[in-house]
Chain A
């Protein structure tokens, strides 16, 4: 079987550590913010949806 040149998962995995960053971002979220953002989401079905 042809074996492709491996793009070195280990190297690529080590190249980025977003965990701390994402953790700090997640900490800023709250259910209240989520609800505020959700309030701006439309409630009509997308155009072209059946039975609308």
Chain B
């Protein structure tokens, strides 16, 4: 894996990982579905607020792939089954190659996310092109790690891992478009983050739709890192298992989707884009 290695760097990256999780973990939500009598984690959402609107941002295929087998889908912000938020009817979907979804939350749903933090567009890198070398963090909920707790409530284990840009061949990566997608290396080695399973999950199913955060660029100071440096640069949309590569759609397309679906938010969006 091309992520930073060496004990010193790993130690510092773990420290950054802890600070990152502390700052942003409350903005990520697992998305559960009943599929063939089984409870599965379909994807990971990120809470986003623009002006007075609230959304869950994720990948479109979290809703659409094998949709005929879905029998009920919800967001689980934690706190027991009484807190589950059913998926509303008015999801906005942008299909391939962008594979993005915006799920609006009404006031009642927002109230059920109490204790969770909605991110503003300030966290998004909306004019982003990847550097020669960068370090990234993804935070999602693998379906194979879904458990229930002692109170019989869903207990999704989070996978938070750091990774690097993928620099290998791209000709075999189906549907990859350089101007639309960023490519990252999939987790392969032990997971260095405290409190998480040490081994990578058998499958990354459930991580789909999570946000990809650039946390460092080469040459930037590791030791004085603070969470305000982290920026969302993309939304994870697929995994090339054979190549060990993750594909993610650049965050700037979220902005375009917001503008398309919510013309009344253009003014608020312009405050961020200048």
Q: Do A and B come from the same complex?
A: yes
> A: which residues have CB within 8 A of B?
1-2, 4-7, 9-10, 12-13, 15-23, 25-26, 28-31, 33-50
Partner of B39, one of A17, A37, A47: A37
Interface contact tally, CB-CB below 8 A: 134
Q: Which B residues touch A6, using CB under 8 A?
A: 256
**B149: nearest chain-A partner, CB-CB:** A43
Q: Which chain B residues border A21 with CB–CB below 8 Å? A: 67
Q: In the complex where A37-B37, A38-B39, A38-B148 touch, is A26 in contact with B73 (Cβ < 8 A)?
A: yes
**Bound: A26/B63 CA distance, A:** 11
Contacts of B133 in A (CB 8 A): none
For B60-95 the 0/1 string (1 means CB < 8 A from A) is 100110010011111000000100101101111111
Partner of B34, one of A20, A29, A42, A48: A29
Which residue of chain A lies nearest to B257 when distances are taken between CB atoms in the complex? A9
> A23-B89, A41-B147, A47-B199 in contact; A7/B98 too (CB < 8 A)?
yes
Residues on A with beta carbons closer than 8 Å to the beta carbon of B73: 22, 25-26, 29
Q: Which residues of B contact A47 (CB under 8 A)?
A: 197, 199
**Chain B residues within an 8 Å CB radius of A15:** 95
Closest CB pairs A-B (n = 9):
A29-B72, A4-B179, A37-B39, A23-B89, A48-B198, A48-B199, A48-B197, A9-B256, A46-B197
CB pair B91 A19 closer than 8 Å: yes
B interface, size bucket: 35 or more
Q: A16-B60, A40-B38, A46-B201 are in contact. Are A29 and B86 (CB under 8 A)?
A: yes
Please encode chain B, from 221 to 250, with 1 for each CB lying within 8 Å of some chain A CB and 0 for all others.
Answer: 000000000000000000000000000000
B residues with a Cβ closer than 8 A to A are 34, 37-39, 60, 63-64, 67, 70-74, 81, 84, 86-87, 89-98, 127, 129, 144-150, 152-155, 157, 177, 179-180, 194-199, 201, 253, 256-257, 260-261
- B63 CB contacts on chain A under 8 angstroms: 18, 22
Assembled-state Cα–Cα distance A42/B156 (Å): 11
Contact between chains at B89 and A46 (CB < 8 Å): no
Chain A residue at minimum C-beta to C-beta distance from B146: A41
A36 and B72 contacting across the interface, CB-CB below 8 Å: no
A–B pairs, 26, beta carbons within 8 Å? A1-B127, A2-B129, A4-B179, A9-B94, A9-B98, A9-B253, A12-B95, A13-B92, A13-B257, A16-B60, A16-B93, A16-B95, A19-B90, A22-B63, A22-B87, A25-B72, A29-B71, A34-B34, A38-B81, A38-B152, A41-B147, A44-B147, A45-B147, A49-B157, A49-B196, A50-B194
